Chain A
């Protein structure tokens, strides 16, 4: 079955630094991979999508990379702010499937 691992349950960084979160997957080749942000008690919110034939995607202070050989995606938040504190989930959809498989998430805390 599909397994998606996010590198750590929690990550603390200093404000202004770059946060790097890791998502590793096994068993399937995803058509694309997504990153979501989830605040406590709320539903996930879509941030970025990267396709299997793309190496990198950027949106403002966010950057996602996708290495299909390593079966890994990295999610970067540059110039981090306390407002970036949340849980970040990676999710993938394999080719031919409609549903998303989610990782367990990394809880990021940006310390002022």
Chain B
């Protein structure tokens, strides 16, 4: 158990809808990362937050957004969902954002029908 929690574990929704994925980092970790993992693309970095502020951006679509709250939990919002957004979404955390090791949560499996 990495200490990172993600909810929900599974999500099934329809195209055009909007969903919110939630992540709670390990106790004391200030930095949260979001990744998308699909069969054909592998694990792709989406975005990083550090202590409430956006720190780095990767291959995140404009339809996706994220935020980190004062209690350090983070949410990833996916809107206008398309079939191709079906994937596993992982959250990871680290202490300060420059730490070498990231601790991954169990993931949220999103299926868009």
Residue of B whose beta carbon sits closest to that of A103: B42
Tell me the B residues contacting A by CB distance below 8 Å: 2, 4, 31, 33, 35, 42-45, 48, 50, 55-56, 58, 88, 90, 92, 97-98, 100-107, 109
Report whether B104 and A99 are in contact in the complex, using a CB–CB cutoff of 8 Å: no
Query: In chain A between 70 and 112, which residues have their CB closer than 8 angstroms to a CB of chain B?
Result: 89, 91, 93, 97-105
Are A98 and B48 touching (Cβ within 8 A)? yes
Q: Does A65 contact B (CB under 8 A)?
A: no
**Do residues B42 and A98 form an inter-chain contact, with CB atoms below 8 A?**
no
21 CB-based A-B contacts, threshold 8 Å: A41-B107, A41-B109, A42-B106, A42-B107, A43-B2, A43-B107, A44-B43, A46-B102, A46-B103, A89-B42, A89-B43, A91-B43, A98-B48, A98-B98, A99-B33, A99-B48, A100-B33, A100-B102, A101-B45, A104-B42, A105-B42
Interface hub of A44, A45, A104, A105 (most chain B Cβ within 10 A): A44
A 30-60 to B, binary, CB cutoff 8 A, 1 in contact else 0: 0010100000011111100100000000000
- Contact call A43/B92, Cβ cutoff below 8 A: yes
Closest B residue, CB atoms, query A4: B42
Contact across chains for B106 and A43 when beta carbons are under 8 A apart: yes
Whole-angstrom CA separation of A93 from B98 in the bound complex: 10
Question: Shortest distance in angstroms between A101's beta carbon and chain B's nearest beta carbon?
Answer: 7
Chain B binding surface SS class: strand
Give Cα A36 to B101, complex, Å.
Answer: 10
CA distance A103 to B43 in the complex (A): 7
B106 touches A99 (CB 8 A): no
Q: Please judge, given known A-B contacts A34-B100, A49-B100, A98-B48, whether A43 and B55 are in contact too, CB under 8 Å.
A: no
Q: In the complex, which residues of chain B have a beta carbon less than 8 angstroms from the beta carbon of A89? A: 42-43
Whether A32 lies near B98 (C-beta < 8 A) is: no
A19 to B55, CA, bound (A): 37
Give every chain A residue within 8 A of B103 (Cβ-Cβ): 46
Report B74 CB to chain A, min CB distance, Å. Answer: 15
Distance (Å) between the CB of B29 and the closest chain A CB?
14
Min Cβ gap A107→B in Å is: 12
